[in-house]
A and B are shown apart, each in its own frame.
Chain A
Amino acid sequence: MSGMSKIVKTISNIIFPFITIFGLYVIAHGHLTPGGGFQGGAIVASGCAMILVAYGSLWTMDKIKEKQLSILESLGAIGFIGVAFLGLIFGLVFFKNFLVNQDTIPIFNEIGKGLSNINTAGVLPLMNFAVGLKVIVGLFVIVLVMAYATRPNGGEIE
């Protein structure tokens, strides 16, 4: 698909940082306000899809290959499973929350402080970031591959 006019490209350039910052805010405060990994990831992915619609799939596929994006998605999945295995090593139970209610490592240990206090919930913020990265890259790759494979003069990708 080809891109749109200059007005659409300019407005997308202006709005895209605000959408990204709001989505990262929803991911980071997932243990204090409604939200979390999946919801914030969907918000950032819809912002990236807006850039794809405004600039066209040919231009976007030239700038970003989907092979580099799939490495990022694997990083998110490895981070999630790595935190679960660390719970097995340090706490003898798979998926154990090993950073809360203990006195040796004082990061992520406070309880009940309320809004705008990120170090409250142990392992939960790390898991939120891993799942959020996986959802962002996964949804954007789905939309990009389906838009590039149905361009007017082409067949498949690569």
Chain B
Amino acid sequence: MIYNIPYFAVVALILVGLYAVIFKRNLIKIVIGISLIESGVNLFLITLAYRQDSTAPIYHGSGSRIMSLPVPHALTLTSIVIGVAVTALMLSLIIHLYRHYGTLDARKIAEEEE
């Protein structure tokens, strides 16, 4: 069980992000929580790609060693770019909401909508 410590780091990141999304009222703190969940998922994808005593999957022209799997690295690149796009759109929508309602509290905006 001591060898699964990277998986416990992933679980800690996702739980902290989920706590910020559920229990906080400020809109900016909710966006920070969503960004933390995305970081946890990227770390999980990279942790799945490791072999024992392996190096990066790049040839140097001098001998060959064991290499880690290259496909999860490619999936993580796509996931990082998607995270950037979603965060940019969320922040611009928060600026628009603040101009219209005058407050950044999620409960007050929901009560004003009814």
- Name A's B-contacting residues (CB within 8 A): 33-34, 38, 112, 114, 139, 142, 146, 149-150
Contact = CB atoms under 8 A, between A and B. Distances in A.
Contacts, number: 18
Given A38-B81, A149-B95, A142 B61 contact: no
B56 interface: yes
Nearest to A41: B81
Interface residues of B, number: 13
A146 B61 contact: no
A150 B81 contact: no
A150 B61 contact: no
A38 B91 CA distance: 22
Given A38-B77, A38-B81, A112-B61, A146 B91 contact: yes
Interface of B: 56, 58-61, 77, 80-81, 84, 88, 91-92, 95
Nearest to B62: A114
Given A142-B88, A146-B92, A150-B95, A34 B81 contact: no
Contacts of A142: 88
Grouping DSSP codes into helix (H, G, I), strand (E, B) and loop, the A interface class, with mixed when no group exceeds half, is: loop
A114 B58 contact: no
Contact of B56 (A34, A38, A114): A34
Contacts of A139: 84
Contacts of B77: 38
A146 B91 CA distance: 9
14 contacts: A33-B58, A34-B58, A38-B77, A38-B80, A38-B81, A112-B59, A112-B61, A114-B60, A114-B61, A139-B84, A146-B88, A146-B92, A149-B95, A150-B95
B69 to A, nearest CB: 16
B39 to A, nearest CB: 16
A142 B91 CA distance: 11
Contact of B95 (A38, A112, A114, A146): A146
Nearest to A33: B58
A114 B59 CA distance: 8
B31 to A, nearest CB: 14
